[in-house]
Amino acid sequence: MNPIAPRILFEDNHLIILNKLPSELVQGDKTGDESLLELVREYIRSTYNKPGNVFTGLVHRIDRPVSGAVVFAKTGKALARMNELVKVRDFDKTYLAIVRQKPPKTSEELTHYLVKNEKQNKSYVSLPTVNAAKEARLAYKLIGQSDRFLLLEIALFTGRHHQIRAQLSAIGCPIRGDLKYGYDRPNPDGSISLHARRLVFIHPVKKTLIDILAPLPAEMPWNLFSGNLK
């Protein structure tokens, strides 16, 4: 069996949606590490006996230390239409984050302006008047609590660089394991406790509703919160 097959959440002739592992690279970069995009391309080639250069399009990205649902297109038409859905924000994304500090409110919509530092590969909260500052909006809700950690559900309204990580850090709630944004210790596997839990959109070709839930990572402390999830 192809190694990514058990992690396929949805597949048809147009799209394939996978549950990304923590620390897995979505698209190739300067590290040269094998990417999920390459694995998907090889899966399609070997499973369907497709010769030559198999088309595989990446619809969106999530950060390397983050887990969860990622969408790939199997045709150019599907990729173009999915890109338009993402552009007009008809592509709803819900994340789960584990934090240690209790947020100021049990639920709240946050608006910040973020500036990306390319050299540091990090985003900073800034004044809206700062050059290149981009508006970032999300809503969080506290949905679970253990002895040491809290579980936040996050609806993402914009798609800025490291947006969830930067905005939660700005309210004093850095994500577990996220050293870059203020957490004090790493996770054992190098991940951060942020998971792309749910994707909802209209299929770009069939026009049916796609509603995908990505199972949580198996590692602690995610299993502490399984009873808090629908």
Quote the pLDDT of residue 228: 65
Q: Which two tokens stand for residue 62?
A: 């999530």
Whether pLDDT at 204 is above 80: yes
* C-beta atoms surrounding 172 within 10 Å: 12
Pick from 6-10, 45-49, 160-164, 196-200: least confident: 45-49
Query: What is the distance between the terminal CA atoms of the chain, rounded to a whole angstrom?
Result: 30
Looking at residue 28, what is its pLDDT? Answer: 65
Task: Answer whether 38's CB lies under 8 Å from 52's CB.
Answer: no
- Going from N- to C-terminal start, the domains of the chain cover 5-228
Rounded average pLDDT over 80-90:
92
Strands (E) located in the chain: 8-11, 15-20, 57-58, 67-73, 92-99, 107-117, 122-126, 134-145, 150-156, 194-202, 209-213
Indicate the pTM of the whole model.
0.93
pLDDT at 59: 94
The DSSP string of 87-99 is HTT--EEEEEEEE
Indicate the CATH number of 5-228 among 3.40.50.1220, 3.30.2350.10, 3.20.20.150, 3.10.180.10.
3.30.2350.10
- DSSP assignment string, 97-125: EEESSPPSSSEEEEEEEEEEETTTTEEEE
pLDDT band, very low/low/confident/very high, at 1 (cuts 50, 70, 90) = low
Cα dist from 212 to 119, 123, 195, whole Å: 35, 29, 13
Of the given ranges (28-37, 79-88, 97-106, 139-148), which has the lowest mean pLDDT? 28-37
Q: In this structure, how many other beta carbons lie within 10 angstroms of the beta carbon of residue 197?
A: 22
